[in-house]
A and B are shown apart, each in its own frame.
Chain A
Amino acid sequence: MGVEAILERLRRDGGVAGNLVAEHVVPPADAQLSPFPAALDPRVVAAFRARGIEQLYSHQAEAIEAALCGRDFVVTTPTASGKTLCYNAPVLHEAVVSQRASKALYLFPTKALSQDQVAELARLIESGGFGLHAATYDGDTPPSIRRTLREHGDILVTNPYMLHVGILPNHPKWIDFFRNLRTIVLDEVHTLAGVFGSHVANVLRRLLRICAHYGARPRIFASSASIANAAEHLRRLIGREVQVIDRDGSPRGAKHFWIYNPPLLEPVSGLRANALDEARRLATLVAGEGHQSIFFTRSRAMTEVLTKYLKDHATEQGRDPEKIRGYRGGYLPDLRREIEKGLRDGGISTVISTNALELGIDIGRLDVCVMVGYPGSVASTWQQAGRAGRRGSSSLAVLIARGLPMDQYLALHPGYVFGGRGEHLAIDPDNLVVLASHVRCAAFELAFAKPAVFGNAPSEQVAGILDYLAHEARVLHDDGQRYHWMAETYPAEEVSLDAADIDNVVVVDAERKTVLGELDRPSSITQVHKGAIYGHQGRQFLVEEFDHAGRRAYVREVLTDYYTEAETETEVRVLHLDESREHLPSHRSHRGEVHVVTTATVFKKIRFYTRENVGAGDIDLPPEEMETDAWMIVLEPEAARRLRLSEGHRSKGWRGLGKLLHQVVPLFVRCDLGDLGWSAELRSSHFEAPAITLWDDHPDGVHLAAKAYELEGEVLRAALSIVRGCACEGGCPGCVGPRADVGPDAKSVCEDVLACLVEGVWPPSPTPFAIA
């Protein structure tokens, strides 16, 4: 079925049409074509011609020209606009012109992406007859061919983890490669955000330091989804000014982008229909055979639940459930390859995925994209929506708003997404712990000469860290001129770029004695605790035993009518304050450090479809502990009195404000809700006053809460506009939370408090109860 017909069907469906609260049409665009730049070697041009590319899109020509002038660039055009050509062309040019004396290193965020890239390069090299060697070099590369690749590879494709732990610490084996390294390609740099991005920025500092040691200064070509601060992001990431190429010259069919707000079930409480149920309903209209659809969910568990729903539905309709597949991180590589192939060749009509398919894995272009919940950033939203859209025909993207403030904010303010500027990426390469970790790795790789230089890191910080490592930790020897590594350890192995990196829990099918999948340790305490239901391709597995220390969960396939959801309890203690601001007479704000302990306590069994609670159980696992940065808002006791926070139902409203702020901050600082933790106490034991604390949910902080502290005014104003703009009567999941959670007065309490914090407006003083 064509997309136009689907649109028509949706518009006519009485149950659906009324929920389409916003529509945005990206008009079709003709290609802006440019000839191949004259300076590009004719052999390279011929190779592209042989692949059927006669002309370039304007942004491709722009990128190639920048590269040929020796400039670094970042290209931020949409998904599937031919970004890889932007760097493949100049890399091949360089290799051909130098007669194989120029090497290139491609850095992709995931292994899956590198497989695709190498296949494309191999086709180009073959059609040009260049005799170049392009290959992936990562953890899966057989040891027997590694030496050959190091010595004879012209273009190597790897990932940040391999570079960090495998390649850089062993650079003496790579001397010829580094000596001749002319180009570094960084793909999907918008994924290099937060703590992970900060780590990668430091891995790049190490890479460039080693290149410099061997006399090379490679150029850097980057690609990214649309982000608001591409130039700034690259400056932080690689310490260089780059040319930003953002004018898209590729042709596209019309894209219909709808925001779908599930119907209000109870106007009083503001409760809306469940987004997953709505996705199921939409699926009957937009998914089917003859075209391809993709559903993005926000969690692995929801991917599995929706996969089951859609497979069940297909079976009822007499259609083949095997054409409907789930896809997520944690599946083993072979299964993922199989699904990707099925999507490319059309064997699979519907895929339900986490954001794992958001990146440029080659699955071809699909027709319909449904996002169950806001993906957490504008960049991700457009990346996901970009999965739908074939050249010359229309496509449809639907964002189903959940009953969460972020999603409801977007339903009210669709321009936030449709405006499409993307957000500011926040990374902090000079974060003390991240920087120190990598200075340590760098000291292992090459002795630091004094005065020590490490990329554009502040030199006094670097000097301080080295001094510390030498004289306190004694892992370095300071001979007066240089710091030399002086320990038996291999420091890169002890620094993990992100939690999912090495700290994996393996899920074992105890019956079939096979590994079913894997997941990161922090989420394991809520996903594979004893008694949990672990979903896999729409099937259910009961966790029989979780060996937390051994990082293995043993599961057995079961037939159940429920899935599980775990609850956690979190305790926060203020360690110290780094910076404070007074906004008297209403409140004070602080930035500081807190100690956070998270324990998984109980889990609920929830029946499929009806979502009834059909049981519960205890979880007995060790807690997760960390120290991290936090932003704290502390009300003056007098303000709390005037706002009558201690009175009856109003006291619960304070919690509503915490919840609201937690969901508003990601609008300003690129992160997922899960990147931030929060608490709201009416009487904080530390401040002895009402306090709301938001902290970075990463050990040692990632500059999120700190940035929120800087942007406090804007964050609070946005929160106030959500509360005032929300149509509910007394609080809803779309603003301060459902009444059941935060009490009947939460909305007015939040409005009062925010009006006081933002506008300095005080609620009328309560009339003193006086006996005449």
Chain B
Amino acid sequence: MATEPDAFRDRLKRKLGLARGSAEPAASTSDAAPASDVAPASDVVPASNAVPAPDDASVAPIAPTAPALAAKPRAEAALLLERMFERRAKRAAGAAAPRERASIAPLPRGPARPLPSALALRVNAHGEHAELERRFTEPRMQEALQHLREHGSEALRLHAQRAEILPFALARAAFLDTETTALHGGAGCTVFLIGVGLLEDGALRVHQVFLRSPSDEAASLARVLELLEGVDVLVSFHGKSFDRHRLHARLAMLGFDSPLLSFPHLDLGHIARRFYRGELRDQRLQTLEREVLGLHREDDLPGSQCPAAWFAHVGGRPSRIGDVFEHNALDVASLALLAARFAASPTESSSGREWLSYARGLRIAERRDDARAALEQAIAKLNADSADYLRAQEEARRLRPARARSSSRAKPPA
């Protein structure tokens, strides 16, 4: 009977081309559930000593008793299993570019870097979660935050071109960036690191809530909701179409009431596209960082490699998980710097596009006179054969006094 466990296992192995007994399944990976034996004495416990941080990346912490040779057949088995499951799909995919597969996560290039030592364990009603706090106090950041605060970030809110953003000064904004296991929005896409940046006196405080394993999810998400209490606007980079939906889905699956979709949300990605479309190579955050803010990251772990690092970490393998924290924190910091940049009112040297964006914002804010003045600046600066010039003309039509518009429309046919 194929349903008996042994026969079943044999059949599975045979399908995978494994000779019986040649590859005993690894004894359950002894990845030593982190911190499970460290009783939280208080609400906050430093976790650095509880999290395994292999010094030598070459020592695989899996199955220490398994003979070294066993590793090879297992890797082959995994590949064969993939092949078995995906045989049809591969034929189907045909000439289409093979989808990137990271289920057998390769170790991202670069040395393994363990969890940050300052990572703390916290407890709430939903259980334990890990969180890292980091303050950005560099002069440049201080300057930027001061700018945001002092100028009430008015230009930024106008550039957002959304009426619901206008009432909120950004003093109580949360800068949000998440790391997820995939780019698709399916139920299997986990948000494993959530960076929330809040303005403090003279600093940006970034809270990084981290899932040590999927079972931390409820406690972690509850913590994120807690961090968002008192926040009145979210600031992100293309988070309106990505991050907030991923978080919303996770919250919904776990039965939380999710405020994510109803939050006023200022998406810097949209503004960046308006300002730099066709001008920069692309409008990704790191490109803007380099080209607009003049910043340069060293040894950054590309975002595309973050999921693999987390998979390896959860599986107890050496990984660059520490670099994921760094990557995410810098992303959040960049959001604040970029927001400050966009919060500067346009000047003589600003581009026609910037003026056009500003003019639209003013029109949406019902400041039509100001809008007309800004639009004049825009039209003067824009190239007459550009698409933006046409957009400016359209904007001018909308800004025409209501009477003029209605009379022109009501003109009877000759």
**A interface vs B, CB < 8 Å?**
169-173, 175, 430, 432-433, 436-437, 440, 443-447, 458, 460-461, 464-465, 467-469, 471-475, 477-482, 484-496, 499, 501-503, 521, 547, 549-551, 576, 578, 699
Contacts and interface: CB of A to CB of B under 8 A. Distances in A.
B308 to A, nearest CB: 8
Contact of B184 (A432, A473, A481, A490): A490
B337 to A, nearest CB: 30
A172 B213 contact: no
Chain B interface size, under 10 / 10 to 19 / 20 to 34 / 35 or more: 35 or more
12 contacts: A169-B187, A172-B249, A432-B15, A433-B85, A464-B9, A471-B26, A474-B78, A474-B104, A477-B314, A486-B181, A487-B181, A491-B188
Nearest to A504: B92
A467 B104 CA distance: 16
A254 B250 CA distance: 60
Given A446-B187, A464-B5, A489-B103, A494 B89 contact: yes
B81 A473 contact: yes
Contacts of B4: 460
B314 A486 contact: yes
B389 interface: no
A447 B213 CA distance: 13
Interface of B: 2-5, 8-9, 11-12, 14-15, 25-26, 28-29, 33, 74, 77-78, 81-82, 84-89, 91-92, 94-95, 99-105, 181-188, 190, 213-215, 248-250, 252-253, 307-308, 311, 314-315
Given A479-B214, A487-B102, A458 B92 contact: no
Given A486-B311, A487-B311, A440 B186 contact: no
A690 to B, nearest CB: 27
A496 B182 contact: no
Contact of A432 (B12, B86, B102): B12
Contact of B92 (A471, A490, A491, A503): A503
B11 A432 contact: yes
A478 B3 CA distance: 23
A464 B6 CA distance: 10
A432 B185 contact: no
Contacts of B249: 172-173
Contacts of B99: 489, 493
Which of A169, A480, A487, A493 gathers the greatest number of chain B CB atoms within 10 Å? A487
B103 A172 contact: no
Contacts of B187: 169-172, 444-446
A479 B77 contact: no
Given A444-B186, A488-B182, A549 B3 contact: no
Given A474-B78, A482-B214, A494-B86, 12 more contacts: A432-B12, A460-B5, A464-B12, A469-B81, A473-B81, A473-B82, A479-B214, A489-B101, A493-B89, A501-B92, A521-B92, A551-B95
A488 B307 contact: yes
Nearest to A498: B88
A501 B85 CA distance: 16
Looking at chain A's contact residues, is the secondary structure mostly helix, strand, loop, or mixed?
Answer: mixed
A583 B104 CA distance: 48
B211 to A, nearest CB: 10
Nearest to B11: A432
A550 B12 CA distance: 33
A503 B86 CA distance: 13
A488 B179 CA distance: 12
Contacts of B95: 547, 549-551
Contacts of B77: 472-473
A478 to B, nearest CB: 7
A175 B187 CA distance: 12
Contacts of A175: 252-253
Nearest to A548: B94
B73 to A, nearest CB: 10
Contact of B103 (A171, A446, A461, A487): A487
Given A477-B213, A479-B215, A170 B5 contact: no
A432 B2 contact: yes
Contacts of B87: 699
A493 B89 CA distance: 7
A481 B127 CA distance: 15
Nearest to B316: A477
A703 B81 CA distance: 21
Contacts of B3: 430, 458, 460-461
Given A472-B81, A477-B214, A484-B214, A490 B88 contact: no
Nearest to B14: A576
Contacts of B190: 484-485
A472 B253 contact: no
A460 to B, nearest CB: 5
Nearest to A464: B8
A710 to B, nearest CB: 14
A440 B102 CA distance: 15
Contacts of A464: 5, 8-9, 12
Given A472-B77, A474-B104, A551-B94, A488 B88 contact: no
